[in-house]
């Protein structure tokens, strides 16, 4: 090798090593930058989760790190849908914030997200198990609609189907056709293996793992708020008759008698959740609906019968059951089910009292 | 497998590693890699592709014999039959129905849903096979020595999906020396540079433009004149950056493997006339059309009116090659008319005083601006979903005195200006590439170079990890 070529090759190697060093340093920097508050502030960053459901792994990881770092022993996990997450309010006015205020030193981690179904909650519990996060203290928030017959959706596992497939193949196998029928992309063969293993391998690279977290955090900082929806109380908004006749709205209160067997996906996954929670403290609450706006739907005898069926179902489990219907004044609602800041405060109080056995 | 996907880069790294680890097995490494690359898109289409290649190889053995003409006809029938079946069956049926005012009933047949999925790269490999058959028949090319060699030549993963269209005389000799290819770091770096250039064009520029183009062309029938011009300009840059990105990545892959693949683009929007444009745009296709259509039709050795007709016919075929739709044919005819018109214009100027003026810089700049706009007009046919939409857009674009710009179109037109600036910058950098590289290596400390490489790698990876990658436009042809 000529002297010039040797010199060039050495320069090439030196630059390549330096580039590799900088790249690794950058990866370490990214890892150090992302903390729990990057992806979570009394609730997970929903825009991040919406863009990429795999980003929930980062939230769970960071919760696990916090538990370990702060040596937390007696924490509570809260899992539910948009009411527990706090749609129409910002995180500082959400259930997660207020329940943490009431619980004092007992930290409550809120892993709720809009549209979460019992199937997602069950899957989430399995994901927490995998990460070593205990669910000895668990609060589950559901809506009446979680038990309504799913003719055309929503999926029984709305967000976390891929994880259920991985963590409980039997349950997934039973739910698969319902999920596929409602838009779940069931990958097989090479396509499945590629998606799964590529994600696992790339997750070792912080740039990949935290890409959504950093982008969403930046966007949230730029927007200056994490508000999703309109926080005004419902009576300040226009609710036309047409809106109240919307099939999606009506299905939310569907009075058709609940089938309380495993044919009902709500029951199917609740059974698994209850099995999982055997011997652990669990509170299940059914969100209140707006007693004024949805008076007609709530007064329906079918609706009331179904609520009684749910009460009977949960009475046979170890869980503390809380039906919040008529417990929250209608002026604390932003729509038919979501709550204002005051509504979230009230909900937190009710839950905390029930958790401590003050109300049952 | 998309070049702009993580899977592809893992695949490429594995191929390159095996390629240099086992020099004697390189042909086998490439043969398997090509098969895997194609089968990734669909095993059925891979089997079809492999079958066509094997049949053409077998037929080509008879090209030099006493029944050479028959073998050529047989080979062309197989290749064109395959292409016509997949690409033009539905188009043909629909046009017969329209002409006769009838509707065929295909219920219960494979044409039930009136759709035949197009195998990836079918147009490209068909043209490559035709060139091979014709060249061997004309004794301009020594036939391939083995099916393995022929398979690697036709199916090389770097170009099988969307070109460049390789010629046997350029590529087969390279394959015959493949065991002797040594690792040269300068060539390897050049390969990486081409890959990164293509990836940047695709991930950063095309992904930025594409949503606007899709949105505007999605409502082509309601666009204002300003919006129609904006959409056409943006598409002009989308298709250029998209296709040149793919082609440059193909060239880059070639360099990584020590193989030379032809460049398909040379900053085409700096062309002053149609001739120049086709020497800068999709170069390997233009050369193919010239050698296998225009010249056999008589080329430039016939009467002028025949030359004009040949130009239009050749370009119409080029249009039809792109897609089975009248809009593509019209796009081809339009470019044929531009080529014929320019030829006539040059003829009229010849010997006149004004001819000298055409060599001035001012004329050249004016011609580039005019021809760029003529190209942009042509892209409307290429991109519009149907003839009606294309005609509507052109009508809106023609009413220049009515054109009004919204805040969005003003911003997007600034983007267009910036993209043209990038195009100019590309031309400037490419023409002085050697000097830039030398200055970069000698004058810039390795600490800074490393930092720049890290930033580039991070940005491109971030884009690559962003989510679903969009396909390259030319994959659909």
* Residue B95, strand partner residues: none
| A110 SS3 class | strand
Best residue of B5, B6, B13, B183 to probe chain A, by most A CBs closer than 10 Å: B6
* Residue A322, strand partner residues: A285
Helix (H) or strand (E) holding B408: helix B407-431
- C-alpha–C-alpha distance, residues A271 and B202, integer Å: 49
CA dihedral over B311, B317, B322, B325, signed as positive or negative: positive
A202, A208 contact by CB (below 8 A): yes
pLDDT of residue B107: 85
Q: Are residues A29 and A138 in the same domain?
A: no
Classify residue A184: in a domain, yes or no.
Answer: no
* Residue A321, strand partner residues: A284
CA distance A169 to chain B (A): 26
The answer to whether B446 contacts A15, with C-beta atoms less than 8 Å apart, is yes
Helix (H) or strand (E) holding B385: none
Q: Are residues A247 and A262 in the same domain?
A: yes
Contact residues on chain A for B451, CB-CB shorter than 8 A: 22
A228: left (phi over 0), alpha (psi -120 to 50) or beta: beta
Count Cα atoms within 13 angstroms, Cβ side, for A5.
Answer: 5
Classify residue A164: in a domain, yes or no.
Answer: no
- C-alpha–C-alpha distance, residues B335 and B314, integer Å: 10
A349, A102 contact by CB (below 8 A): yes
* Cis amide linkage into residue B354, ω under 30° from 0: no
- C-alpha–C-alpha distance, residues A184 and A159, integer Å: 9
Interior/surface letters B277-315, b for 16+ CB within 10 angstroms, e for the rest = bbebbbbbbbbbbebbbbeebebeeeeeeebbbbbbbbb
B128, B152 contact by CB (below 8 A): no
Classify residue A173: in a domain, yes or no.
Answer: no
* Residue A286, strand partner residues: A142, A323
Q: Are residues A1 and A73 in the same domain?
A: no
Q: Are residues A106 and A217 in the same domain?
A: yes
Extract the residue ranges of chain B whose pLDDT is less than 50.
none
Contact residues on chain A for B441, CB-CB shorter than 8 A: 11
Please identify which residue in the block is written with the tokens 């044929």: B336
pLDDT of residue B434: 85
Best residue of A14, A20, A22, A24 to probe chain B, by most B CBs closer than 10 Å: A22
The answer to whether A19 contacts B189, with C-beta atoms less than 8 Å apart, is no
B251, B201 contact by CB (below 8 A): no
Phi and psi for A281 in degrees, rounded to 5? -80, 120
- CATH code, domain carrying A272: 3.40.50.1110
Classify residue A234: in a domain, yes or no.
Answer: yes
Please identify which residue in the block is written with the tokens 């293993």: A197
A65 closest CA partner among A99, A40, A36, A107 = A36
CA distance B315 to chain A (A): 40
pLDDT of residue B476: 67
Q: Are residues A311 and A262 in the same domain?
A: yes
- C-alpha–C-alpha distance, residues A11 and A148, integer Å: 68
Contact residues on chain B for A52, CB-CB shorter than 8 A: 467
Q: Chain B residues contacting A, CB < 8 Å?
A: 6-7, 10, 40, 185-186, 189, 441, 446-447, 449-451, 453-454, 457-458, 461-462, 465-467
Classify residue A114: in a domain, yes or no.
Answer: yes
Q: Enumerate residues 6+ apart whose C-beta is below 8 A from B68.
A: B62, B137
Contact residues on chain A for B465, CB-CB shorter than 8 A: 202, 207-208, 211
Domains held by chain A: number: 2
Contact residues on chain B for A18, CB-CB shorter than 8 A: 446-447, 449-450
Classify residue A166: in a domain, yes or no.
Answer: no
Q: What are the residue ranges of helices labelled H in chain A?
A: 3-33, 36-39, 46-51, 56-69, 82-85, 95-103, 118-130, 161-167, 169-181, 189-202, 206-209, 211-223, 241-244, 247-252, 265-276, 295-299, 301-315, 341-355
Please identify which residue in the block is written with the tokens 């959504």: A212
- C-alpha–C-alpha distance, residues B184 and A10, integer Å: 14
CA distance A311 to chain B (A): 44
Q: Are residues A104 and A22 in the same domain?
A: no
Q: Which residue of B has its CA nearest to A9?
A: B185
The answer to whether B185 contacts A8, with C-beta atoms less than 8 Å apart, is yes
- C-alpha–C-alpha distance, residues A161 and A179, integer Å: 8
A323, A286 contact by CB (below 8 A): yes
CB nearest to B450's CB, from A18, A52, A202: A18
pLDDT of residue A1: 58
> Of the listed B322, B335, B342, B423, which one is catalytic?
B322
A156, A269 contact by CB (below 8 A): yes
- C-alpha–C-alpha distance, residues B232 and B226, integer Å: 10
- C-alpha–C-alpha distance, residues B411 and B470, integer Å: 24
CB nearest to A14's CB, from B446, B454, B466: B446
- C-alpha–C-alpha distance, residues A333 and A313, integer Å: 27
- C-alpha–C-alpha distance, residues B213 and B111, integer Å: 32
The answer to whether B458 contacts A26, with C-beta atoms less than 8 Å apart, is yes
Tokens of B413: 């037109």
CA distance A67 to chain B (A): 30
Q: Give Cα A280 to chain centroid, integer Å.
A: 20
Q: Domain ranges in chain B?
A: 6-182, 186-464
| A156 SS3 class | coil
Between strands A108-110 and A76-80, the pairing is: parallel
B264, B163 contact by CB (below 8 A): yes
Q: Are residues A349 and A228 in the same domain?
A: yes
Question: Order of strands across the sheet with A320-323?
Answer: A108-110, A76-80, A137-142, A281-286, A320-323
Q: Are residues A7 and A119 in the same domain?
A: no
Q: What is the pLDDT along chain A (360 residues), one digit of tens a residue?
A: 578 778 878 888 899 999 999 999 999 999 999 999 999 999 999 999 999 999 999 999 999 999 999 999 999 999 999 999 999 999 999 999 999 999 988 899 999 999 999 999 999 999 999 999 999 999 999 999 999 998 877 999 999 999 999 999 999 999 999 999 999 999 999 889 999 999 999 999 999 999 999 999 999 999 999 999 999 999 998 877 778 888 888 999 999 999 999 999 999 999 999 999 999 999 999 999 999 999 999 999 999 999 999 999 999 999 999 999 889 999 999 999 999 999 999 999 999 999 998 754
Tokens of A45: 């960053």
CA angle A174–A177–A181, rounded 5-degree value: 150
Q: Are residues A88 and A28 in the same domain?
A: no
Classify residue A315: in a domain, yes or no.
Answer: yes
Is residue B322 annotated as a catalytic residue, yes or no?
A: yes
CB nearest to B451's CB, from A9, A22, A205: A22
| B26 SS3 class | helix
ipTM of the complex: 0.79
A291 closest CA partner among A330, A322, A255 = A330
pTM, two decimals, is 0.85
CB nearest to A11's CB, from B446, B461, B467: B446
Classify residue A62: in a domain, yes or no.
Answer: yes
* Residue A79, strand partner residues: A140
CA-based R_g, chain B, Å: 23
Longest dimension (CA), chain B: 73
Domain with A302, as residue range(s), is 37-154+213-355
- C-alpha–C-alpha distance, residues A310 and A313, integer Å: 5
The answer to whether A22 contacts B454, with C-beta atoms less than 8 Å apart, is yes
pLDDT tens profile B213-232: 999 999 999 999 999 999 99
The answer to whether B189 contacts A12, with C-beta atoms less than 8 Å apart, is yes
Between chain A and chain B, how many beta carbons pairs sit less than 8 Å apart?
Answer: 49
Q: Are residues A129 and A260 in the same domain?
A: yes
Q: Enumerate residues 6+ apart whose C-beta is below 8 A from B229.
A: B376, B397, B403, B413
Q: Are residues A6 and A139 in the same domain?
A: no
Contact residues on chain A for B461, CB-CB shorter than 8 A: 205, 207-208
Best residue of B42, B185, B187 to probe chain A, by most A CBs closer than 10 Å: B185
B404: left (phi over 0), alpha (psi -120 to 50) or beta: beta
CB nearest to B454's CB, from A12, A19, A208: A19
Q: Are residues A125 and A15 in the same domain?
A: no
């Amino acid at each position: 090798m000529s002297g010039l070529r040797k010199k060039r090759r050495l320069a090439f190697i030196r630059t390549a090593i330096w580039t590799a060093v900088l790249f690794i340093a950058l990866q370490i920097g990214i890892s150090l930058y992302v903390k729990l508050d990057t992806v979570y502030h009394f609730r997970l960053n929903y825009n991040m989760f919406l863009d990429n459901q795999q980003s929930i792994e980062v939230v769970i990881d960071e919760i696990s790190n916090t538990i370990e770092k702060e040596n937390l022993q007696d924490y509570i996990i809260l899992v539910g849908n948009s009411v527990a997450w706090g749609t129409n309010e910002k995180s500082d006015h959400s259930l997660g914030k207020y329940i943490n205020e009431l619980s004092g030193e007992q930290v409550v981690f809120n892993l709720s997200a809009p549209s979460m179904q019992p199937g997602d909650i069950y899957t989430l519990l399995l994901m927490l198990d995998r990460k070593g996060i205990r669910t000895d203290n668990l609060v589950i928030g559901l809506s009446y609609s979680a038990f309504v017959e799913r003719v055309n959706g929503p999926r029984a596992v709305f967000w976390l189907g891929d994880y259920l497939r991985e963590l409980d193949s039997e349950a997934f196998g039973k739910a698969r056709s319902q999920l596929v029928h409602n838009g779940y992309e069931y990958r097989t063969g090479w396509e499945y293996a590629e998606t799964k293993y590529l994600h696992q391998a790339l997750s070792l690279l912080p740039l990949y793992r935290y890409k959504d977290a950093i982008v969403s955090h930046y966007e949230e900082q730029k927007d200056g708020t994490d508000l999703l929806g309109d926080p005004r109380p419902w009576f300040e908004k226009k609710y036309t008759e047409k809106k109240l006749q919307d099939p999606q709205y009506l299905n939310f209160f569907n009075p058709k008698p609940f089938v309380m067997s495993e044919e009902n996906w709500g029951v199917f996954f609740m059974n698994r959740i209850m099995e999982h929670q055997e011997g652990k403290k669990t509170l299940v609450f059914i969100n209140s609906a707006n007693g004024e706006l949805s008076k007609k739907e709530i007064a329906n005898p079918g609706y009331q019968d179904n609520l009684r069926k749910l009460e009977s179902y949960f009475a046979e489990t170890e869980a503390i059951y809380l039906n919040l219907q008529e417990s929250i004044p209608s002026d604390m609602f932003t729509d038919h089910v979501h709550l204002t800041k005051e509504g979230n405060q009230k909900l937190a109080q009710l839950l905390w009292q029930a958790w401590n056995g003050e109300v049952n | 497998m998309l070049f702009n996907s993580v899977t592809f880069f893992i695949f490429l790294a594995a191929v390159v590693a095996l390629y240099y680890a086992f020099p004697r097995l390189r042909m086998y490494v490439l043969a398997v890699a090509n098969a895997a690359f194609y089968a990734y898109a669909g095993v059925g289409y891979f089997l079809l592709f492999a079958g066509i290649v094997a049949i053409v190889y077998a037929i080509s053995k008879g090209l030099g014999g006493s029944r050479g003409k028959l073998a050529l006809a047989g080979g062309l029938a197989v290749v064109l039959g395959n292409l016509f079946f997949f690409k033009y069956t539905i188009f043909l049926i629909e046009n017969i129905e329209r002409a006769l005012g009838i509707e065929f009933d295909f219920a219960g047949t494979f044409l039930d849903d009136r759709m035949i999925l197009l195998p990836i790269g079918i147009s490209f490999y068909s043209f490559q096979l035709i060139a091979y058959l014709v060249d061997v028949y004309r004794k301009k090319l020594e036939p391939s020595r083995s099916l393995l060699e022929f398979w690697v030549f036709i199916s090389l993963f770097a170009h099988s999906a969307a070109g460049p269209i390789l010629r046997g005389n350029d590529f087969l000799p390279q394959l015959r020396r493949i065991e002797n290819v040594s690792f040269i770091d300068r060539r390897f770096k050049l390969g990486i540079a081409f890959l990164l250039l293509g990836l940047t064009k695709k991930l950063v520029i095309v992904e930025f433009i594409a949503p606007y183009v899709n949105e505007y062309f999605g409502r082509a029938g309601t666009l204002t004149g300003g919006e129609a011009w904006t959409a056409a300009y943006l598409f002009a840059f989308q298709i250029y950056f998209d296709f040149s990105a793919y082609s440059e990545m193909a060239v880059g892959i070639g360099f990584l493997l020590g193989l030379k693949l032809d460049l398909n683009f040379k900053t085409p929007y700096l062309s002053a006339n149609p001739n120049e444009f086709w020497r800068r745009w999709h170069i390997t296709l233009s050369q193919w059309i010239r050698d296998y259509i225009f010249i056999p039709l008589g080329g430039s050795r016939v009467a002028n009116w025949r030359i004009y007709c040949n130009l239009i016919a050749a370009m119409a075929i080029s249009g039809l090659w792109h897609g089975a739709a009248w809009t593509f044919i019209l796009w081809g005819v339009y470019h044929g008319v531009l080529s014929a018109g320019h030829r006539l214009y040059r003829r009229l100027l010849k010997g006149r005083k004004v001819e000298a003026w055409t060599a001035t810089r001012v004329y050249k700049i004016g011609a580039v601006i005019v021809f760029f706009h003529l190209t942009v007009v042509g892209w409307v046919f290429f991109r519009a979903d149907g003839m009606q939409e294309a005609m509507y857009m052109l009508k809106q674009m023609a009413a220049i005195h009515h054109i009004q710009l919204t805040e969005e179109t003003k911003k997007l037109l600034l983007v267009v200006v910036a993209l043209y600036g990038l195009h100019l910058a590309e031309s400037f950098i490419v023409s002085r590439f050697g000097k830039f590289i030398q200055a970069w290596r000698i004058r810039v400390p390795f600490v800074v170079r490393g930092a720049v490489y890290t930033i580039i790698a991070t940005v491109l990876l971030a884009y690559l990890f962003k989510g679903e990658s969009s396909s390259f436009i030319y994959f659909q042809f």
